[in-house]
Structure 1
Amino acid sequence: MEHLKKLRGLLLLTPLLLLSGCGTVLLNPSGDVAMQQGRLIVVSTVLMLLIIVPVIGLTVFFAWKYRASNKEAEYAPEWDHSTQLELAIWAAPLIIIIALGAVTWISTHTLDPYRALRRIDDTRPVPADVKPLVVEVVALDWKWLFIYPEQGIASVNELAAPVDRPIKFKITSSTVMNSFYIPALAGQIYAMPGMESKLHAVINKAGEYEGFSANFSGEGFSHMRFKFHGLADADFDKWVANVKGAGGQLDRAGYLKLEKPSEREPVQRWASVSSDLFHAILNRCVEPGKMCLHQMAEIDARGGLGLPSAYDIASKPAYSADPLSPQRRYVAAFCAPGDPVDLPLYSSVAITPAILKE
């Protein structure tokens, strides 16, 4: 019997031992946005427990009170309604739902990742003269590219930012949908090809934090991780200087090589980066001669290439039944030679005719 009691005690301690290995970064993060999200989890859990705990307790109580061996329990087979019980059963969940709805509505707007930060933490607003650090994020197969347009540098699988300075992430993907996530900083944000997601966040404590992809994206997904360094202003300046000292330039040709799938990619740094690289990645036109998505969208917005139509664009020689007579010439393709970013819309579109039968 004594052995059974010890075994029961060990079984009760097993869940606690399992939980002891779990990290608490979600409930004890180092960034203000993640801190607010952690509080939202706690508040929502407590509100739901206000219903769950009494229901579980009453279930156990009723099972014990009305057990078959309790002959003193009240037996009322004809009982079918109680106004007081109906009010209690429906009023309590309704109040909880209203409270959860209010908390969710407020938090959804306050923690909108596209919304610029208004505070550094719960005691300090963002100073009016402070500009956010802009970081352009590209999810590759299977690594992360970070571009600092203001500093003119880039890195792979290494991210750094100064403490207590707002960060504005611009996020996209090269191939498939991915998810950018630093638990200590803020919630995860999807990265999608041809689209730009945004995330505003701030880190409040210096340290090294884990970042990774939170969305399965293929064979090398599990190794798609990076280090995020929260640094003091002076240390961040040193980090930027070290990156610049690494030498090298990341241009379009270099990016096309980097874009090829690879796993367990080590940290890479570039002292300079093409100013239009992220724009070209976002608009799917890094390759030479490829029209950008924003150019296609502008053509569509102007009514498409049907105005003037292909019939009007084509040369129209006089009709002849003679098979040797000149055939009509139609527009068969549109290409964008040169730099599709710097050239105006229609000056970068060259018409390439092809001889087709009418």
Structure 2
Amino acid sequence: MNKRSLVSAARWSCVGIAALLLSGCNLELMSPMGDIGAQEKSLILIATGLMLLVVVPVIAMTLIFAWRYRASNTKAKYAPKWSHSTAIEAVIWIVPCIIIAILGTITWRTTHALDPYKPLAHEAKPLTIQAVSMDWKWVFIYPEYGVASVNELALPTNVPVHFEITSDSVMNAFFIPQLGSQIYAMAGMETQLHLIANQPGTYAGLSSNYSGAGFSDMHFTAIATSQQGFQDWINKAKASQLSLDDQTYHALAQPSEKAPVTYYTNVKPGLFNAIIGQYMGDMKMDKIGDAPAQASAIPSPNDHAKAAE
């Protein structure tokens, strides 16, 4: 390869890298609107930067060595019996070990700090939202208000949101990229997630785990608004003519694609626990069609301890 060809290749490589970087400017994951999302963005950038400390020099040296030791360069030093360099060995072992140690420390700390089950430290009272994945739509239940919605989620800004998540079908994954923290939803199980939206806006939510034919259209809208705007949304849901009772829920649970946004009022008490309970076999849990249980359907660690005694 002559000098002109190498310069041309380098120029086009720079153009390609610049285009790749610019194409990611509008990535939702890189434009967080909540505290959890911001911390995860910081983690991604730090980890990427540390790894590039190895990747970039290796790529640069590969190009430099290929140019310097090309066949036509008669001035390059030829050392066929060279076999060892203590300095090089030290660099290629010590530098990666330091980077791995730093990454390990950061990962350990953020794994605990960003635990999805860990409540957010905030002066405002958390809002509980129960999310149920179906084929192929999302149902959001607001137990404190007795309303529910399909494929639309509303939450007040600067208020911690405690999500209780399950599936009424195959395993799925709940994800709002700009708020952070993807987490899986599984039938017969409840998982939790704590998020907060610091700025008002409309954010895209999705299923990030393939779950069948309608998976590509399994999106929902997350609306972060003021406290008054949130109350207006609740009032709109309460004004719905549809009640979410057993019969309505069974119809809603049937597979459907591109389900429109729908609001429900008079949500059956204990519905979320009943959705989980229908997959629990002979265990004593409330199920669809049964009267709601008085206690939580999910046993606590203290319950297991008492059972062991």
Q: If the TM-score is normalised by the length of the shorter chain, which range does it land in?
A: 0.7 to 0.9
Percent identity, aligned pairs only? 45
Residues 32 and 38 of structure 2 are in contact (CA less than 8 Å); yes or no, is this contact kept in structure 1?
yes
Give the TM-score, by structure 2 length: 0.85
Residues 271 and 292 of structure 2 are in contact (CA less than 8 Å); yes or no, is this contact kept in structure 1?
no
Q: In the alignment, which residue of structure 2 is the partner of 1:43?
A: 46
Distance apart, 1:187 and its partner CA: 2.1
Q: In the alignment, which residue of structure 1 is the partner of 2:194?
A: 200
Residues 165 and 191 of structure 2 are in contact (CA less than 8 Å); yes or no, is this contact kept in structure 1?
yes
Residues 159 and 229 of structure 1 are in contact (CA less than 8 Å); yes or no, is this contact kept in structure 2?
yes
**Residues 212-233 of structure 1, C-alpha deviation per residue, up to 9 Å, x if partnerless?**
1111111111111111100001
2:73 paired residue among 67, 70, 75: 70
1:236 paired residue among 210, 230, 233: 230
1:295 aligns with 2:284: yes
Q: In the alignment, which residue of structure 2 is the partner of 1:94?
A: 97
Q: In the alignment, which residue of structure 1 is the partner of 2:219?
A: 225
In structure 1, the residue corresponding to 2:78 is in which secondary structure? coil
Residues 269 and 292 of structure 2 are in contact (CA less than 8 Å); yes or no, is this contact kept in structure 1?
no
Q: In the alignment, which residue of structure 2 is the partner of 1:257?
A: 251
The whole-number CA distance in structure 2 between the counterparts of 1:84 and 1:9 is: 32
The whole-number CA distance in structure 2 between the counterparts of 1:292 and 1:274 is: 21
**Residues 101-134 of structure 1, C-alpha deviation per residue, up to 9 Å, x if partnerless?**
111111111111111112xxxxxxx12xx22100
The whole-number CA distance in structure 2 between the counterparts of 1:182 and 1:113 is: 13
Residues 246 and 288 of structure 2 are in contact (CA less than 8 Å); yes or no, is this contact kept in structure 1?
no
The whole-number CA distance in structure 2 between the counterparts of 1:173 and 1:50 is: 42
Residues 177 and 204 of structure 2 are in contact (CA less than 8 Å); yes or no, is this contact kept in structure 1?
yes
Residues 161 and 196 of structure 2 are in contact (CA less than 8 Å); yes or no, is this contact kept in structure 1?
yes
Ranges in structure 2 where 5+ consecutive residues have no aligned partner: 296-309
Q: In the alignment, which residue of structure 2 is the partner of 1:339?
A: 290
Q: In the alignment, which residue of structure 1 is the partner of 2:120?
A: 117
Q: 1:338 to 1:98 in 2, by over 3 A?
A: closer
Give the counterpart letter for 1:145 in structure 2: V
The whole-number CA distance in structure 1 between the counterparts of 2:263 and 2:13 is: 51
Larger Rg: 1
In structure 1, the residue corresponding to 2:30 is in which secondary structure? coil
Q: 1:343 to 1:50 in 2, by over 3 A?
A: closer
Q: Select the structure with the greater relative contact order (CA < 8 A; seq sep ≥ 6).
A: 2
Give the counterpart letter for 1:197 in structure 2: T
Greater CA drift, 186-195 or 4-13: 4-13
Q: 1:15 to 1:51 in 2, by over 3 A?
A: closer
Distance apart, 1:70 and its partner CA: 2.1
Distance apart, 1:69 and its partner CA: 2.0
Q: In the alignment, which residue of structure 1 is the partner of 2:85?
A: 82
Normalized per residue, the structure richer in helix is 2
Distance apart, 1:77 and its partner CA: 1.7
User: Across the two proteins, how many residue pairs are aligned to each other?
Assistant: 288
2:143 paired residue among 129, 132, 149: 149
Residues 132 and 165 of structure 1 are in contact (CA less than 8 Å); yes or no, is this contact kept in structure 2?
yes
Give the counterpart letter for 2:242 in structure 1: G
Distance apart, 1:337 and its partner CA: 12
Q: 1:171 to 1:293 in 2, by over 3 A?
A: farther
Give the counterpart letter for 2:290 in structure 1: D
Distance apart, 1:254 and its partner CA: 1.3
Q: In the alignment, which residue of structure 1 is the partner of 2:126?
A: 132
In structure 2, the residue corresponding to 1:250 is in which secondary structure? coil
Distance apart, 1:156 and its partner CA: 0.6
The whole-number CA distance in structure 2 between the counterparts of 1:193 and 1:234 is: 35
Q: 1:251 to 1:206 in 2, by over 3 A?
A: same
- Superposition pairs of residues 341-356 of structure 1, within 5 angstroms: 341-342=292-293
Give the TM-score, by structure 1 length: 0.74
Q: In the alignment, which residue of structure 1 is the partner of 2:264?
A: 270
Normalized per residue, the structure richer in strand is 1
Give the counterpart letter for 1:132 in structure 2: P
In structure 1, the residue corresponding to 2:255 is in which secondary structure? coil
- Provide the aligned C-alpha RMSD in A: 2.7
Q: 1:181 to 1:60 in 2, by over 3 A?
A: same
Residues 194 and 293 of structure 1 are in contact (CA less than 8 Å); yes or no, is this contact kept in structure 2?
no
The whole-number CA distance in structure 2 between the counterparts of 1:208 and 1:57 is: 42
Q: 1:77 to 1:19 in 2, by over 3 A?
A: closer
1:26 aligns with 2:15: no
Residues 283 and 293 of structure 1 are in contact (CA less than 8 Å); yes or no, is this contact kept in structure 2?
no
Ranges in structure 1 where 5+ consecutive residues have no aligned partner: 119-125, 286-290, 297-335, 345-358
Q: 1:155 to 1:259 in 2, by over 3 A?
A: same
In structure 2, the residue corresponding to 1:154 is in which secondary structure? strand
In structure 1, the residue corresponding to 2:132 is in which secondary structure? strand
